[in-house]
Amino acid sequence: MDIGLLAQYLANGIMLGTMYALVAVGFTLFFGVLDVIKFSHGDVLMLGTFAGFTVWLGLEAAGISNPWVQLVLILIASMAFTAAAGAAIAKYLVLPLKKAPPLNTLLITLMLGTAIREAVRLFYPNGSNPKAFPSLLPDASVDLGGFLLRADSVILVVAGLGLITGLNLMLNRTRLGLAIRAVAQDEETARTMGINYMVVVLATFGIGSGVAAFAGIMNGLYYNEINFGMGLLLGLIGFSAAIVGGLGNLYGAILGGFIFAGLQVVGSALLPFASAYKDVFAFAVVIAIMAWKPTGLIPERTSDRV
């Protein structure tokens, strides 16, 4: 294979892997703290992306056209809105079912995701149609001997990896992060030590949801398009990545995100009619990995829980 083409595939894989890792991190945080699978995660991501898009429309109407100002405001609004939505879901839907069978939580979050998706489709103006997301990043590119390095991709990858690094530092170096880890490892002991359980849970769901919103904006900026169903696939990929890496392990979620992206890239490069079969190939390999390593590639240990 041509070196330039190989480098192009690698760059695409890093971009997608960063995005998927950000989504998978949310599933890991939710499971680590409450032992729940929040299947509305992808649709909350989509809701945050549409909130950011709505803010952009408002900025355009107000005559604020500087792309960097727009991008910052879109990110702040999207992540704040989605964090608030995630915390509300935790408080009013997930926590009341804490002592119920796990299937109840799974079902209610699955139904919530469907409700969010259909609400956007039905009530957002022309919600059934894809929306052209604005190109707010520089569109410059450098041709490196058959490898086209896009400036927007570099910025998105650096920002995404920076967010993942910041999240890791927060979990390991701050009082809130230590409280989250304490609750994840032993809830009763954490309560005895004076940790506010409710605050930790709401903060965890808010952080996980806000990070997912960042991934949604990344997706919109990269593909220049969003739609009401985008969270369904991104949520499924993020959940698969978290399972493959090791649910409850932050590093496993990151690894799983890059593995899934790598599988898509390999499928695109090697399979005929690549764009049609890359997801089929990736999910098939993920199924095989799950059958081989049911606990994930990095099995969860109590001391690793986030």
pTM above 0.85, yes or no: yes
Q: Report the b/e string of 258-283 with b at 16+ CB within 10 A.
A: bbbbbbbbbbbbeeeeeeeebbebbb
pLDDT band at 98 (very low <50, low <70, confident <90, very high): confident
Instruction: Report the pLDDT value the prediction gives residue 305, as an integer from 0 to 100.
Output: 58
Instruction: Report the pLDDT value the prediction gives residue 304, as an integer from 0 to 100.
Output: 58
Interval 26-34 mean pLDDT: 91
Question: What tens digit of pLDDT does each residue of 59-74 get?
Answer: 999 999 999 999 999 9
Question: What tens digit of pLDDT does each residue of 257-270 get?
Answer: 999 999 998 888 77
Q: How many CB atoms lie within 10 A of CB 67?
A: 12
Taking 60 as the threshold, does the pLDDT of residue 274 lie above it? no
Phi, psi of 96 (to 5 degrees): -60, -20
**Listed range (146-150, 162-166, 298-302) with the worst mean pLDDT:** 298-302
CA distances 26 to 186, 209, 253, 265, Å, are 20, 6, 9, 23
Taking 60 as the threshold, does the pLDDT of residue 228 lie above it? yes
Q: Which residues does residue 132 pair with via DSSP β-bridges, in sequence order?
A: none
Write out the E strands in 113-208: 141-143, 148-150
Instruction: Report the pLDDT value the prediction gives residue 301, as an integer from 0 to 100.
Output: 57
Calpha distance 126→130 (Å, rounded): 8
Taking 80 as the threshold, does the pLDDT of residue 87 lie above it? yes
Calpha distance 156→19 (Å, rounded): 9
Taking 70 as the threshold, does the pLDDT of residue 75 lie above it? yes
**Listed range (28-32, 204-208, 293-297) with the worst mean pLDDT:** 293-297
